[in-house]
Amino acid sequence: MKLAVLSRNPDLYSTKRLVEAAKVRGHEVQVIDHLKCDMIIEQNALSMYYKGEKLENFDAVIPRIGASVTFYGTAVLRQFEMMDVFSANRSIAITRSRDKLRSMQMLGAAGLGLPKTAFTNYSKEEKQIVQNMGGAPLIIKLLEGTQGLGVVLAETIKAAKSVIEAFHGLKARIIVQEFIKEAKASDIRAFVVNGEVVGAMKRTGKEGEFRSNLHRGGSAELINLKRSEKAAAVKAAETMGLSVAGVDMLQSDRGALILEVNSSPGLEGIEKATDKDIAGKIIEYVEQNYQNKRGRKKNA
């Protein structure tokens, strides 16, 4: 196969591991910075150029699109899809998962466990919002935040009201969520590939830190998930339409609660915690679907 990995930095761990795993299996692979792609759109003709050269004859693409460039990155991926190139994750699924509010609505409607969540249009009724959430402590998140940035723990009602008021004063869109005390500053990242949990780790925040993100200094360790937790992770990925996903969950007294479904989950933490070849699992999935696609074309 001829593979494209959409990534802005070929030196990132995740990008390097995908390239390595593809080459081990005998595939040709090119890392493409999606922000440097030019799309040409004509009647019955779509094409793409990268650094002045036409991109042709790709069999599959693996997107590693950062949250800050979702719009252009998914437009490039959509062009590949319309040029009949198989994608490990579809552009619409990535766009859907990046909208935190939309994804929470979809996950809740699918019957998955979630922390109680509130969203308003810059409401001045901060007191009512806090009351509707059952009081403090509360987690307040920027809709566009990533890697633990823009996440605040408000431990008192007064603090919660002040933080909500401050964010709304800045015209920053936020969601307010209940604080799950029994999670003890830990969460689970379940890595799902093609409807199966291929690895899972428990992330714990450093001392005095309620956020468990590894980018915030947290630690990770291997964890064996309960059957119900695996099922929740798989259903969350399917609800978003993602074939490759990192599903973040909290362990609570009422079961697994989904925090987020990540469409470009990092490989370093999960591979080191589980000692598994997660990159290889992704390449195997792409191989399988490429072969199925070729088989359907032959039988058509």
> Which pLDDT value is given to residue 208?
55
What stretch of H or E contains 159? helix 157-169
| Strand 219-222 relative to strand 244-252, pairing | unpaired
**Chain-centre distance for alpha carbon 104:** 13
Sheet holding 60-63, edge to edge: 28-32, 2-6, 60-63, 86-87
In this structure, the number of other CB atoms found within 10 A of the CB of residue 56 comes to 9
**pLDDT at position 114, please?**
96
Residues 6+ apart with CB under 8 A from 111: none
| CA dist list (Å): 136 to 85, 169, 199 | 49, 21, 34
* pLDDT computed for residue 185 by the predictor: 82
pTM for the structure as a whole: 0.88
Give me the pLDDT at residue 220, please: 84
The pLDDT of residue 211 is 59
Give 128's contacts (C-beta < 8 A, 6+ positions apart). none
* Model pLDDT, residue 210: 58
Output the pLDDT for position 299: 59
> Low-confidence residues of the chain, pLDDT below 70?
145-148, 206-218, 293-300
CATH architecture of 182-262: 2-Layer Sandwich (3.30)
Scan for tokens 């969460």, then name that residue.
Answer: 187
* Tokens describing residue 289: 């679907």
Please give the pLDDT value at position 172. 85
CA-based nearest residue to 81, from 90, 73, 72: 90
* Site of tokens 């899972």: 200
The CATH number assigned to the domain with range 2-89 reads: 3.40.50.20
Domain spans, the chain: 2-89, 117-179, 182-262
Burial tier of 188 (Cβ tally within 10 Å: 0-12, 13-18, 19+):
buried
Picking from 265, 103, 115, the residue whose alpha carbon sits closest to that of residue 183 is 115
Please name the fold of domain 117-179: Dna Ligase; domain 1 (3.30.1490)
Give Cβ neighbours of residue 44 (< 8 Å, ≥ 6 apart). none
Structure tokens, 13 = 């761990």
Q: Which of 245, 187, 200, 207 is nearest to 226 (CA)?
A: 200
**Positive or negative torsion for Cα 96, 54, 37, 57:** positive
Contact (CB, 8 A) for 194 and 288: yes
The predicted structure's pLDDT at residue 78: 98
Signed CA dihedral, 30, 31, 36, 38: sign only: positive
CA dist., res. 172 & res. 286, Å (int): 38
User: What amino acid is encoded at 202 in this protein?
Assistant: K
